[in-house]
C-alpha cells in the first residue's frame, strides 16, 4: 500500500494497531540500496506492520547542496519495498510535510553544531524536524536507522529522550561494499577514479582502529596520520577527521570510553561520510 497524505497514513496504521500489530518505521529519502534493505529486514523481523517512508526532505539540504539532483527512482524503490514485504510506503510531497503556513522546527542544540553540522548548517534541524513529524504521523513502536549516519542517530536519540517521544530507536550496522566503502545513495555520483579513491575512508578508519587497539590514545596523532593518508589520495579533499566522545560529540585529547571516529571527505562535489564506534579502555596507570 502507498499513501501520500497524513490522514490516509494514520488510517492505515490505526487499522493495523486495531488488530494488535506492532509497528516498525524505516525513514528514508529513497534511492534504496542494500543498507536501507537491511533496515527494512530488521523491521520486518521485529514487527507485524512495517512502514517505509520515502521523502527527499528539502529542509536538510543547504542552498548549495544536491537537492535537485538527488536520485529519485521511486518505482524501483517500491519494487524493493515490496520484495522485502513492507506493508506501507508513506510517500508525501514537500507540500504535505511543509504546508505554506509551516513555521515550526526542532533543534538539538550543541549536538547539531559539530562534525557534519559545522559544514552543513541547518542540516540536523531539518533532520530532527522531519523525523519528529514522521513519528507523530505514524507513531511507530520502533524506528530503524543506520550507523553510517552516526551523528544523526545521536541527535535523534537526544530528541526522543528530551521530548519524551514514545518510540524505541534501533541503530543497525553499516552495510559495506566488498572493498569496505559504506553504501550510500550518493555513491552513484562517483566517477570510476573517485570510486576507486573512496576506499581510503574505510582504510583510514581501519588503520585508526588498529592503532587504538594497539594502545595509541592520542587523538591528535591518529587524526594527523589519517589526514596524511587521505591527502595522499588523488581527488580526495578532507572536510573533517574527528575523534569525539560519543555522548557529547566533543573532541577528546586522550581516548577513553565510548568513542566515535568519524570522517567526511569530498571526491569532486560528492561528500562521503563514514565512522566506527569503539569502546576504548582507559590507559593503564603508570
Q: Which among 33, 36, 109, 123 is annotated as catalytic?
A: 36
- Which residue, 203, 196, 185, is CA-closest to 267? 196
d(CA 139, CA 91): 16
Q: Which residues pair with 101 in a beta bridge?
A: none
pLDDT for 284: 66
3-state DSSP assignment of residue 286? coil
Average pLDDT estimate for 35-59 = 97
Percent with pLDDT over 90 in the chain: 95
Q: Quick check: 40 pLDDT over 60?
A: yes
241-281, pLDDT tens digit by residue?
A: 999 999 999 999 999 999 999 999 999 999 999 999 999 99
Cα distances (Å, whole numbers) of residue 177 to 116, 147, 181, 193, 195? 23, 15, 5, 16, 11
Per residue in 186-201, pLDDT (tens digit) is 999 999 999 999 999 9
Angle CA(240)–CA(243)–CA(248) in degrees, nearest 5? 105
**Mean pLDDT over all residues of the chain?**
96
User: Are 238 and 260 spatial neighbours (Cβ–Cβ below 8 Å)?
Assistant: no
β-strand 257-267 against 270-280: which pairing, if any? antiparallel
In tens, the pLDDT along 203-242 reads: 999 999 999 999 999 999 999 999 999 999 999 999 999 9
pLDDT at residue 118 tops 90: yes
Q: Decide: 153 and 171 in contact? Cβ < 8 Å.
A: yes
User: Options 3.55.50.30, 3.30.1540.20, 3.50.50.60, 3.30.1300.10; which CATH number does 185-279 get?
Assistant: 3.30.1300.10
pLDDT digits (tens, 9 = 90+) for 220-229: 999 999 999 9
Band of pLDDT at residue 286, cut at 50, 70 and 90: low
CA gap 125, 255 in Å, rounded: 29
For the chain, the residue count is: 286
pLDDT for position 172: 97
What is the pLDDT at residue 104?
Answer: 97
Please give the full DSSP string across 115-139, using - where no structure is assigned.
THHHHSTTHHHHHHHHHHHHHHHH-
Residue 109 CB contacts under 8 Å (≥ 6 apart), including other chains: none
Query: Where does the chain hold its CATH 3.30.1300.10 domain(s)?
Result: 185-279
Q: Roughly how many angstroms between the first and final C-alpha of the chain, as a whole number?
A: 63
Q: Which fold has domain 2-172?
A: Rossmann fold (3.40.50)
pTM recorded for the entire structure: 0.95
Measured distance CA(163)–CA(244) in Å, rounded: 25
| 36 is known as an active-site residue | yes
C-alpha cell at 187: 555513491
Distance between CA 38 and CA 115 in Å, rounded? 26
In the chain, % of residues over pLDDT 70: 99
CATH 3.40.50.620 boundaries in the chain: 2-172
142-165 pLDDT per residue, tens: 999 999 999 999 999 999 999 999
Per DSSP, helices labelled H in 47-149 are 74-83, 94-97, 116-119, 123-138
pLDDT of 50 higher than 80: yes
pLDDT at 285: 61
pLDDT band at 62; cut points 50, 70, 90 = confident
Amino acid at each position: 500500500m502507498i499513501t501520500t497524505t497524513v490522514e490516509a497514513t494514520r488510517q492505515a496504521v490505526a487499522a493495523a494497531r486495531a488488530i494488535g500489530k506492532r509497528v516498525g518505521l524505516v525513514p528514508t529519502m529513497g534511492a534504496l540500496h542494500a543498507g536501507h534493505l537491511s533496515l527494512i529486514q530488521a523491521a520486518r523481523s521485529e514487527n507485524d506492520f512495517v512502514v517505509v517512508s520515502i521523502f527527499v526532505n528539502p529542509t536538510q539540504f543547504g542552498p548549495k547542496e544536491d537537492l535537485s539532483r538527488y536520485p529519485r527512482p521511486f518505482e524501483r524503490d517500491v519494487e524493493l519495498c515490496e520484495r522485502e514485504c513492507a506493508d506501507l510506503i508513506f510517500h508525501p510531497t514537500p507540500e504535505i510535510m511543509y504546508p505554506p503556513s509551516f513555521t515550526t522546527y526542532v533543534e538539538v542544540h550543541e549536538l547539531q553544531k559539530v562534525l557534519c553540522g559545522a559544514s552543513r548548517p541547518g542540516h540536523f534541524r531539518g533532520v530532527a524536524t522531519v523525523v519528529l513529524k514522521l513519528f507523530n504521523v505514524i507513531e511507530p513502536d520502533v524506528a530503524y536507522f543506520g550507523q553510517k549516519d552516526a551523528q544523526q542517530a545521536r541527535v535523534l536519540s537526544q530528541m526522543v529522550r528530551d521530548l519524551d517521544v514514545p518510540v524505541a530507536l534501533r541503530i543497525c550496522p553499516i552495510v559495506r561494499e566488498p572493498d569496505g566503502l559504506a553504501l550510500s545513495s550518493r555513491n552513484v555520483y562517483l566517477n570510476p577514479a573517485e570510486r576507486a579513491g573512496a576506499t581510503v575512508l574505510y582504510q583510514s578508519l581501519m588503520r585508526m582502529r588498529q592503532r587504538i587497539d594497539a594502545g595509541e590514545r592520542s587523538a591528535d596523532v591518529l587524526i594527523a596520520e589519517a589526514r596524511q593518508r587521505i591527502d595522499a589520495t588523488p581527488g580526495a579533499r578532507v572536510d573533517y577527521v574527528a575523534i569525539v566522545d560519543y555522548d557529547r560529540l566533543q573532541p577528546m585529547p586522550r581516548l577513553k570510553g565510548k568513542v566515535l571516529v568519524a570522517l567526511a571527505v569530498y571526491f569532486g562535489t560528492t561528500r562521503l561520510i563514514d565512522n566506527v564506534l569503539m569502546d576504548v579502555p582507559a590507559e593503564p596507570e603508570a
